[in-house]
Structure 1
Amino acid sequence: MKLNLVPARTGATWVRLGLKTFWRQPLAFISLFFLLMALISTVSLLPLLGSVLAPVLLPFMTLGLMVATSIAYTDNAEGIGTAGHAQRPTGSAMFVAVIAAMRTEWRSLVKLGVISAVYFVFAVLLTSFIDGGQLAKAYLLDEALTPEIMASSDFQVARMFLMCLNLPLSLAMWHAPALVHWHRVEPVKSIFFSVVAVFRNFGAYALFGLAWLGVFLLAGIGMGLVATVLIGVGSVGGGGAAAAIGNVLIVGSALVLAAMSMSSTWFTFRDSFDPN
């Protein structure tokens, strides 16, 4: 295995391929994303341990969506049917492949998840130097927060600080699950190689992020306009149905966009690493 250096314009190609692949099996991608998100959300609700156990499942989600993308994406040379048309993979084939990958790599994924959880707890504890431990108590001890605490400047700074600390974790886990699955790299080494790949191809990854930001902004503006119209209709008509639909559209579109963005991560892995 060796690292590939790709031009910056490849970042836009990754986004285009991700969008194209998502629309080959949109229901399967959305169902898989919602299922994994529901599992992580349910675990996070467990008393005391939930916020620590939830990060353990994140590598499973990353690998699952990457495997689904690899199945959904079919090169023309590989996906030509008897009638000369590209064959679309079935949603069931995607789910079967995802389950098989998770079952095969669960030990390595758990190791990656434990590393993520330990880092997350350490990062949360560091915020105690800013807000006196309010954020840490909320995350780790499920302590209720008053509106006054949430509105305080120290608490807001602590939240931003935690977001900054989680960025290196995101970079470290970007390719790690895929590396242990497709290239049989040890979990700790996979984290190192993931970070190196992002920094060596920084231009491509920066354009990748900016391109997805543009997609999110355009979709958000469109959905916001539709939701505003529906909410306005509901307020004028005295009914809450239209307003409720508008709110559902905003939340639903955000989740679908998140599923779409994660469907492109496999292409970043595929082009960044050469198995030979």
Structure 2
Amino acid sequence: MHAHILGYSHGWRWITEGFALWRRAPALTSYVSFAYVLLLLLASSLPYLGQFLAALLMPILSIGVLEGMAAAEGGRRPGPEVLFAGFRGPWRSLAALGAFQLAGNLLAVLATILVDGGLMLGLYRGTIDPASLESEPQLLWPLLVWLAIALPVTMAYWFAPALVAWHRQPWPKALFFSFYATLRNWRALLVYALGIAAVVFALVLALSFLAALIHPYVLGIALFLLPLVLVPTLFAGLYLQVRDVFGPR
């Protein structure tokens, strides 16, 4: 499995080209993005096994999002069933990726107990009020422990669904190749993450300025509309990352 190594400039290109892909097919890219989020929220809201079910569905449904983005790029207009394209492929291997990510994230949270006695776990579960904390530095070490485990898990998962569904890799190899690819492309991915943060900050700042000049309601309306563009652009950026790092499907 060959992974291209890309430079810093690709990180910004994934943002601009992702926005251009949304503009090319706003209905399709928005549908697959928000339907994906909505289905995961509905699954996670189920009692008892909701979080586990959502974790298993996440990589399967993500293939539908990538298929939708590929169709938008190719000028095709698939039906609503495109979101469930992952179920027509190796869905068991995709579900295994979801179980791996869930287990890794749970391990990251549980590991923080070793350094904070359950403080971060309480914040995660909502049993501890953040306002009750006397000082923020006490969260530094548990955050570092969490990051030391959660970051490699995220790197291993990042490209893995596409590698399983589009490049027919067994799920353990997909995790390995995804980790390798994200590690080698840290420059572009770092610029992408920082670029997204900078764009959001600049937009909120500009909208706040306009709201101060015109009317406070302008900010509320704009902050409601902003995710309608930002979320599909983020998913389009993920598709472009898969395409540029591993080549076309």
Which range, TM-score by smaller chain? 0.7 to 0.9
Indicate if the aligned counterparts of 1:72 and 1:94 stay in contact, CA closer than 8 A.
no
Report matched runs for 1:162-173 at 5 Å: 162=146, 165-173=149-157
Please name the residue that 1:196 is paired with: 180
Please name the residue that 2:92 is paired with: 107
Classify 1:33/1:246 alpha carbon distance in 2 versus 1 (closer, same or farther; 3 Å).
same
Classify 1:26/1:48 alpha carbon distance in 2 versus 1 (closer, same or farther; 3 Å).
same
In 2: Cα distance, 1:259 partner to 1:150 partner: 36
Tell me by how many angstroms 1:164 deviates: 5.7
Classify 1:255/1:116 alpha carbon distance in 2 versus 1 (closer, same or farther; 3 Å).
farther
Is 2:161 the counterpart of 1:177?
yes
In 1: Cα distance, 2:153 partner to 2:224 partner: 26
In 1: Cα distance, 2:148 partner to 2:204 partner: 24
Tell me by how many angstroms 1:24 deviates: 1.2
When Rg is computed on C-alpha atoms for both structures, the one with the higher figure is 1
Using the size of structure 1 for normalisation, the TM-score is 0.75
Tell me by how many angstroms 1:154 deviates: 7.0
Indicate the larger mover: 34-43 or 152-161: 152-161
Tell me by how many angstroms 1:261 deviates: 1.5
Per-residue displacement from partner, 1:207-235 (whole Å, max 9, x unpaired)? Answer: 333333333233232333345567xx46x
Tell me by how many angstroms 1:95 deviates: 3.5
Is 2:247 the counterpart of 1:267?
no
The two structures, once aligned, show a CA RMSD in angstroms of 3.0
Classify 1:261/1:150 alpha carbon distance in 2 versus 1 (closer, same or farther; 3 Å).
farther
SS of 1:145's equivalent?
coil
Please name the residue that 1:30 is paired with: 30
Indicate if the aligned counterparts of 2:15 and 2:195 stay in contact, CA closer than 8 A.
yes
Counterpart amino acid of residue 30 in structure 1:
S
In 2: Cα distance, 1:265 partner to 1:71 partner: 14
Tell me by how many angstroms 1:256 deviates: 3.5
Tell me by how many angstroms 1:194 deviates: 0.8
Tell me by how many angstroms 1:9 deviates: 2.5
Q: Give 5+ residue unaligned stretches, structure 1.
A: 75-87, 235-241
Classify 1:31/1:111 alpha carbon distance in 2 versus 1 (closer, same or farther; 3 Å).
same
Is 2:208 the counterpart of 1:224?
yes
Classify 1:171/1:258 alpha carbon distance in 2 versus 1 (closer, same or farther; 3 Å).
farther
Classify 1:196/1:94 alpha carbon distance in 2 versus 1 (closer, same or farther; 3 Å).
farther
Indicate the larger mover: 260-269 or 177-186: 260-269
Indicate if the aligned counterparts of 1:69 and 1:264 stay in contact, CA closer than 8 A.
no
Counterpart pick for 1:121 among 103, 106, 114:
106
Counterpart amino acid of residue 196 in structure 2:
W
In 2: Cα distance, 1:187 partner to 1:122 partner: 20
* Greater share of residues in helix: 2
Size of the alignment, in residue pairs? 248
Using the size of structure 2 for normalisation, the TM-score is 0.82
Indicate if the aligned counterparts of 1:108 and 1:187 stay in contact, CA closer than 8 A.
yes
* Amino-acid identity (%): 27
Indicate if the aligned counterparts of 1:8 and 1:203 stay in contact, CA closer than 8 A.
yes
Please name the residue that 1:77 is paired with: none
Tell me by how many angstroms 1:128 deviates: 1.5
Classify 1:228/1:144 alpha carbon distance in 2 versus 1 (closer, same or farther; 3 Å).
farther
Please name the residue that 1:4 is paired with: 4
In 1: Cα distance, 2:119 partner to 2:112 partner: 9
Indicate the larger mover: 257-266 or 161-170: 161-170
